[in-house]
């Protein structure tokens, strides 16, 4: 494989392993302190990736909120905001979504070649469209991001995208926050789905850090030998 960015996966799950409930409304699992951790993580990265499912259901802005962190990025000669990245097969995304309209960030949409023309028509004025063989292989996606100058990538979900990164061994670090309540709804999206993961009972991931963030606990795992302990 060609070079890929250092990749951090980050999400917050319930005690029973769900990322959300199955209702229409957006569910906040994180504490204020945990949201600040995510903000710091965003500020440290060149790009933030979420799946199209998350763009549709959560309408996230994917911006750095803290002014000091933004100023620090600019002072270091970096863009004020990380690049926003999403991946879709269907290319059914609203150009008015906050992903496309909030902030001045560069925006990239990876889609399959069979929906590339459709995506270009709907989203070409608000994002750069990159067509790939279907389904988009995350290995190719991260190689392409590296070619575009992304050296540190944050993957914020949802479950489908996290599953693919973990199963493909494309993550260097997992920051998993655990919220102190249950969802208890089989129809809700889980942290990950079925898959053959590189970490098993005989080959365990290394727990690098635990941190209490209000009523949320952060579990930080080193998933590759590129893990950067200091951050
Ligand atoms: N708690 C947290 O920290 C957190 C963080 C993020 C998200 N979430 C939750 O996660 C849920 C969404 O998760 P999800 O698993 O349903 O969706 P997701 O992972 O956000 O996105 C899945 C969608 O991404 C596209 N996609 C994924 N892999 C692809 C590939 N290889 N090639 C082409 N397209 C691909 C497809 O889009 P198309 O359907 O457009 O083809 C697919 O339907 C939401 O409920 C959200 O609230 C929670």
What is the Å distance from ligand 1's center to 228 Cα? 27
Ligand 1 center to residue 75 CA distance, Å? 34
pLDDT in tens, 212-223: 999 999 999 999
* pLDDT tens digits along 158-208: 999 999 999 999 999 999 999 999 999 999 999 999 999 999 999 999 999
Distance, in Å, from the CA atom of 5 to the CA atom of 47, rounded to the nearest integer, reads: 10
Measured between alpha carbons, how far is residue 89 from residues 19, 77, 93, 136, 156 in Å? 22, 34, 11, 8, 18
The two tokens of residue 9 are 């996966």
CA of 162 to the centre of ligand 1 (A): 8
pTM recorded for the entire structure: 0.98
- Quick one: which H or E segment has residue 45? none
Distance 58 CA to ligand 1 centre (A): 10
Percent over 90 (pLDDT), the chain: 95
CB of 17 closer than 6 A to ligand 1? no
- Tokens (6 digits) for 194: 């079925």
Strand 6-13 relative to strand 107-112: parallel, antiparallel, unpaired?
A: unpaired
Tell me, what's the pLDDT at 93?
98
**Ligand 1 contact, 57 CB (< 6 A):** yes
Q: Using alpha carbons, select from 175, 104, 106, 169 the residue that is nearest to residue 142.
A: 169
pLDDT class for 76, splitting at 50, 70, 90? very high
């Amino acid at each position: 494989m060609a070079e890929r960015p250092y990749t951090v996966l980050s999400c917050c799950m319930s005690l029973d392993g769900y990322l959300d409930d199955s209702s229409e409304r957006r569910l906040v699992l994180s504490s204020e302190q945990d949201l600040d951790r995510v903000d710091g993580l965003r500020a440290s990265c060149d790009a933030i990736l979420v799946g199209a499912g998350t763009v549709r259901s959560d309408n996230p802005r994917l911006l750095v909120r803290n002014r000091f962190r933004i100023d620090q990025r600019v002072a270091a000669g970096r863009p004020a905001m990380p690049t926003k990245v999403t991946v879709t097969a269907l290319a059914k995304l609203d150009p008015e979504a906050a992903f496309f309209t909030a902030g001045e960030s560069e925006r990239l949409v990876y889609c399959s070649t069979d929906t590339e023309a459709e995506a270009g028509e709907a989203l070409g004025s608000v994002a750069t469209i990159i067509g790939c063989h279907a389904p988009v292989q995350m290995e190719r996606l991260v190689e392409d991001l590296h070619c575009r100058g992304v050296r540190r990538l944050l993957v914020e979900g949802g479950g489908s995208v996290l599953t693919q990164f973990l199963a493909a061994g494309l993550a260097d670090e997992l920051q998993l926050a655990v919220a102190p309540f249950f969802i208890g709804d089989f129809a809700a999206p889980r942290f990950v789905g079925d898959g053959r993961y590189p970490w098993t009972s005989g080959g365990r991931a290394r727990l690098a850090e635990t941190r209490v963030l209000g009523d949320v606990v952060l579990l930080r795992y080193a998933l590759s030998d590129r893990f950067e302990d200091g951050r």
